[in-house]
Structure 1
Amino acid sequence: MTVTGDSLGREPIVLDPFVTDLDGESARLRDAGPLARVVLPGGVPVWAVTHHEEARQLLTDKRLVKDIGVWGAWQRGEIPGDWPLIGLANPGRSMLTVDGEEHRRMRTLVAQALTPRRVERMRERITELTEGLLDDLAAPYRAGGTVDLKAAFAYPLPMYVISDLMGIDPADHPRLKVLFDKFFSTQTPPEEVVATLGELAGMMAKVVAARRAEPGDDLTSALIAASEDGDHLTDEEIVSTLQLMVAAGHETTISLIVNAVVNLSAHPEQRALVLSGEIGWDAVVEETLRFSTPTSHVLIRFATEDVAVGERVLPKGEALIVSYAAIGRDEKQHGPTAGVFDLTRSPNRHIAFGHGPHVCPGAALSRLEAGVALPALYARFPGLDLAVPASELRNKPVVTQNDLFELPVRLG
């Protein structure tokens, strides 16, 4: 696919598939203006909204829809079915891919299942899982040594939580990890893309079938039972919703926990404020969400007509991504210290979980997990610190998630 400059003569910004410098790339996106021409891995050209206020406006603009059939490049056959990001652009029929009345219908039914009360009921289980993982970290052979905190704590906790919530067998965790790594990666070989999507859908369908046969006190059973005026979600809708919520429900929280630890280690004066009790852990969660947003870029909305954004126009039939990594440090929203990790920031009005009708339904759960996990982690290991310089930490080749390969720490 040939990619040229825009009407203002600006060359597109090619997103690095290996994410070697997310902060630098995000700064270039902000500098390009609120609407920037970018190229996704695989040579796919789209547009990105990179400033806070314009993102809020576009996320509620009814001229932007989730229907991939509106995308001109898709209509012309320019997007291959084995494109590594196809599962994020066209993930099946769920809340993520419908608008208007259909979105309201599906979100209403999902909201019946994922109630604030159900989320809050998870607190005790999250605390139990957290303490168990910390006990393992505190084993004598690890005390004072180096451990990959992502593999030993930040990954298993959200996966166990989302599995408990959705009724997924923990025995499936190893295979799910492999599949979701392939699902998000820009480096998944084309011949594995379709197979990965098919296997994930099959595993979710197995969960739905099991819960239909034997309902339990889990979200999948609640999704099956949810009804509005006799209307129910179809099995296809439940499978796609389940896959969406499992993917977003664990990946976002992994990154939130990991990035909080990285930021506190890189800013010991800020860490001292929270360990002394002068600043609450909720401030750590919110500032991490803003400063190191777990989601780098969200795919995709499509313009049903020309949409003016600043001095540029998002043309009809073009695709838009929301570049949350750039948006979180927008000085027009957060002032001249937007590029500083500051736990005393107030107010801290970010949109790390989205805005408008498609705002993330699992935001409360992610905040709850991090709000339990982080204080428990530092209460057990107040001397916890990075085992390598922050500059040596490596991002995974995932353009949608701010995700590290590993997080080596010394427990202290």
Structure 2
Amino acid sequence: MLDPATPDLHGDNERLRQAGPVVPVTAEGVPAWAATRYDTLMTVLTHPDLTRELHHWSGRDALPPGTAIDRIVTDTSMLNADGERHRRLRMPLTTAFSQRRLNGLRPRIEELTARLIDRLAGMPPGEPVDLRLEFAYPLPREVISELIGIPEAHQDDLHRLTDAVAQVGGLEDSPELRKELRELLDRIIEERRGTPGEDLISDLFALHEKDGGRLSEDELFATIELLFIAGHVTTVNLITNAIGALLTERGQLDLLRSGQCPYSAAVEETLRWDSPIAYFPMRYAKREVEIDGVRLRPGEPVLACFASANRDPRQYGEDAGVFDVTRPQFTHLAFGHGPHFCLGAPLARLEGEIAIKALFEAFPEMELVRPVAELPPLDTLLGNSTRTMPVLLGPRAR
């Protein structure tokens, strides 16, 4: 039984890998197979007899409502589409995350980061600062808001609700809160119909008007909602986890500060060593299929264990559990693989690199208030991070 509140995710995953490549688990009351190892997960993510389309799941009628699994598997966007429908839903978004669009975003990301650094520097000296709340969260939230085109008038309400989704601040995530968030996003999308701009909502509306058969009204709404939520919450975890790793492994931080390794290496090693996503549901067997000696019956679900696969000693050697920015290969599955590879991966990498470089250059004496292992986990099946990242910043570099 997978424990969303486990204080030792990586220890749990080591036991899963030892139990086998495809292991029977219960997650949020749902029986499933867990793909625990790197090669196995690669197979699951690309196997033609496994699909993300919910109607193939034989146990879908018994799915407990309101859980993280329920929210993911019932999403009607490209997340749970395959084949031609997936290509049709995904294609309009490729320009939003093109290299040209990202190159245009870099100065804005740097500006937002510098503003957050200035704000941190103005906080009372000598008092702990929660960098998840004050730095790792607001940066990707602001970036995705601008990329998608969230009007300023709605940003406070939207931020209040997404605080809970990202597990910062005082609000708790819940089905009721998700419903309120969805209604607010729907209202924003409707309002934007008459006010086009240089943003993703406008791009998708233009496409919808030009070729109504490409995206239905429901698909358009579901796509924007998916991109807003998925487009920043995992990056919050990435930046939080990178801060914790580098403040714990000071020798690795020295390699970055000396220029021996680029900050991009720290981003990639964080993605591998402390994947922002722990487990991700589901893929379903369309017919009887055998994976690594385990026979799946038609309709059985498979859970993707990203954090487990990314520490698989069979892929990375006996030091797979060591954070090492000099690692010769940075292949990992943190962004998935195959047709569903994360569209926002280049943006997350860019934000992560800009953020941690600016932060550690600004506060060279920064240190943890408590060891990362003692910090409360997110308490969710999906995300892998801590609820807080309290540090003492120390003086700002001059």
Distance between the aligned counterparts of 1:332 and 1:324, measured in 2? Answer: 15
Please list, as runs of the form range in 1=range in 2, the aligned pairs for 1:303-322 lying within 5 A after superposition.
Answer: 303-322=285-304
- 1:85 Cα offset (Å): 2.8
Could you tell me whether the CA contact under 8 Å between 1:109 and 1:227 is conserved in 2?
no
Distance in 2, Cα, partners of 1:322 & 1:258: 22
> Counterparts of 1:385 and 1:18 in 2: how far apart (Å)?
26
Structure 2 portions without partners, runs of 5+: none
CA distance in 1, matches of 2:99, 2:161: 27
Q: Tell me if 1:285 matches 2:267.
A: yes
Q: 1:124 to 1:108 in 2, by over 3 A?
A: same
Mean CA deviation greater in 250-259 or 107-116? 107-116
Is the 1:287–1:342 Cα contact (8 Å) retained in structure 2? yes
2:241 to 259, 274, 277: 259
Aligned-partner Cα distance in 2 for 1:142–1:375:
23
Select which of 6, 11, 16 maps to 1:24.
11
Deviation string 1:6-52 (CA, Å, 9 cap, x unpaired) is xxxxxxxx1112132111111111111111111112x2111111111
Stretch deviating more after TM superposition (160-169 or 370-379)? 160-169
Equivalent runs, 1:67-146 vs 2, <5 Å: 67-74=53-60, 77-91=61-75, 93-139=76-122, 141-146=123-128
Give the distance between the partners of 2:108 and 2:166, measured in 1 at CA.
26
Deviation at 1:227, TM superposition (A): 6.5
Kept in 2, the 8 Å contact 1:68–1:90? The answer is yes
Give 1:94 deviation, angstroms.
Answer: 1.1
Q: Gaps (5+ residues) in structure 1?
A: 1-13
**1:298-327 CA distance string (max 9 Å, x none):** 111111112211121222111111100100
Q: How many residue pairs end up in the alignment?
A: 386
- The answer to which of 360-369 and 14-23 deviates more is 14-23
What is the match of residue 51 of structure 2? 65
Identity of aligned residues (%): 39
How much is the aligned-residue C-alpha RMSD, in angstroms? 1.8
Which of 165, 180, 184 is the equivalent residue of 2:165? 180
The 1:211–1:116 alpha-carbon spacing in structure 2 relative to 1, beyond 3 Å, is farther
**Aligned AA (2:223):** T
Question: C-alpha separation between the residues in 1 aligned to 2:209 and 2:260?
Answer: 47
- Structure 1-normalised TM-score? 0.89
| Alpha-carbon spacing, 1:130–1:83, altered in 2? closer, same or farther (3 Å) | closer
Contact 1:71 1:317 in 2 (8 A): yes
Q: Distance in 1 between matches of 2:311 and 2:350?
A: 24
Check whether the contact 2:77–2:89 (CA below 8 A) recurs between aligned residues: yes
Q: Is 1:391 paired with 2:391? A: no
Per the TM alignment, residue 396 of structure 1 is displaced from its structure 2 partner at its CA by 1.4
Change (3 A) 1:329 1:226: same
Q: Which residue of 1 aligns with 2:33?
A: 47
CA displacement 1:104-149 (0-9 Å, x = unmatched)? 111112213332211221111111110111101001x433431111
User: Which stretch has the larger CA shift, 291-300 or 162-171?
Assistant: 162-171
Q: Which moved more, 1:392-401 or 1:173-182?
A: 173-182
